[in-house]
Structure 1
């Protein structure tokens, strides 16, 4: 049975003047999962991830990381196990070369110089940034900057990555390239929590979806179950992927995958032609 890495138990969080942001949220993330955390703006997604990183402390409830309560832990403590990637990579980038940027985290964790070099080399290779090692990070594209932020996180050798809307502001090719990178990292054993409002990404890449609405967990299951038509996801501010929306309009045809849906529609059209020949 996979190890439970992060266990969020009945979390409540109140902002001093902003009311209740989270109300009794429960879910656990096991080693090797690729989880989407979804919900409309203001649903509590970012607050929950900030709690998971010990950037905030819960009003009540508990969070455990590999069985240890995080109430007394600092963000630096959490960084040994969880890498956090902000929506805007410019918030994380401040050094003058990609290699130096990626080296910052391991240096802060007191890696030896040899271990820092090894971690940087491996992280650059895993993210396809080896040739950009000496580049000035701020001259890179948005997608490349996001990869620098991911490389900086994985250089610290975390068991889990939390990414907040990592494809925001990217063109479709960069977004696909980044998602394929995350799939590859997941296959290498890194657990992924992807904060996103993009239902297409959830349907195509993730294996589990947790949906928040008004600070409460309202769904926890597979993307297929989220989009099979049994859930009124519009009430949570979600729009189904295009392939799902189309399949729901076609009698007897159902798929969350665009390529598969194309084949099903084509076969259905040909079958109907034969039936009426």
Structure 2
């Protein structure tokens, strides 16, 4: 569980970024953290991982204030994947990059091999173990960052714009894997994204920030199919939500929408 209590934050130049943020993410949730560029969502996620610390208020992980924590103290609880994958690359091969965290945690070498193999397989990077990470494509680097987080088997994953740079098949494979991880292992997923179609299909709750303030917390259905001012918050309704709303059906994906239409749920 991660909880923000009355969080205020400003960077060194003194300009406030977050104002009185209160939210709680329970174990096993799949949450989308949304907002326009500069809304504060990445900053809030960095506080969750102790990459930064609030000016006032508390960040609690499993009920414990993490004000004196460093990211390494939380690595086996909270995995963090940066928006810029180059910021995470530390090793000279793909294998060593994914093995880095488990080695820091002094896991047995046999466990490390098992975890690395599984993480690379899950992210479609099998066969690239000996490659130099910095020559990978942008999309591969993103998946490498996810693999490195997965190798520590964290209970929570914070993923910042990980679908960028992926083609449709890669994006679908990654999101289906995360969905399975959430549903089968109970891993908490916090997804920062601008892709509202991904939010509508996979997230079970959406948290929206605008100009550093929390303005919405609820289901994607409530966000996209109600009267929320999503455009004013810098968001766009998913195409499927627009169509479903106009035709009087409820659907989280194109597949569900087509099925509802096929069954005669819409008056065409």
TM-score higher than 0.5 here? yes
Q: Does 1:197 align with 2:206?
A: no
Q: Alignment partner for residue 54 of structure 1, among 37, 50, 54? A: 50
What TM-score, normalized to structure 2?
A: 0.91
Counterpart in 2 of 1:208?
205
Task: Name stretches of at least 5 consecutive residues in structure 1 with no aligned partner.
Answer: 273-277
| Pair 1:189–1:267, CA change in 2 (3 A) | closer
C-alpha contact 2:85 2:145 (8 A) present in aligned 1: yes
1:220 has 2:217 as partner:
yes
Tell me, what secondary structure is at the counterpart of 1:163? strand
Q: Deviations over 1:18-56 (max 9, x none)?
A: 521111111111111111000001110011011111111
Work out whether 1:96 is the aligned partner of 2:92. yes
TM-score, scaled relative to structure 1: 0.88
Partners of 1:40 and 1:236 within 8 A in 2: yes
Residue in 1 aligned with 2:228?
A: 231
Contact 1:39–1:211, Cα closer than 8 Å, also in 2: yes
Give the direction of change, closer, same or farther, for the CA distance of 1:74–1:115 in structure 2 (3 Å limit).
Answer: same
d(CA) in 2 for partners of 1:214, 1:138: 34
Runs of 4 or more consecutive aligned structure 1 residues displaced over 6 Å after TM superposition: 269-272
1:13 aligns with 2:6: no
CA RMSD, 1 decimal? 2.1
Contact kept, 8 Å, 1:241 with 1:256, in 2: the verdict is no
> Which one of 95, 105, 114 corresponds to residue 110 of structure 2?
114
Moved more, 199-208 or 228-237: 228-237
The answer (yes or no) to whether the contact 2:6–2:21 under 8 Å persists in 1 is: yes
1:245-275 deviation per Cα after TM superposition (whole angstroms, max 9, x unaligned): 223333x344342223234445559966xxx
Does the 8 Å CA contact 2:260/2:266 hold for their aligned counterparts? no
**How many residues were matched structurally?**
267
Give 5+ residue unaligned stretches, structure 2. none
Q: 1:156 aligns with which of 137, 149, 152?
A: 152
**Shift, 1:113, TM fit:** 3.0
Report the Cα offset of residue 57 of structure 1: 1.0
Bigger drift between 46-55 and 18-27 goes to 18-27
Q: 1:74 aligns with which of 70, 73, 84?
A: 70
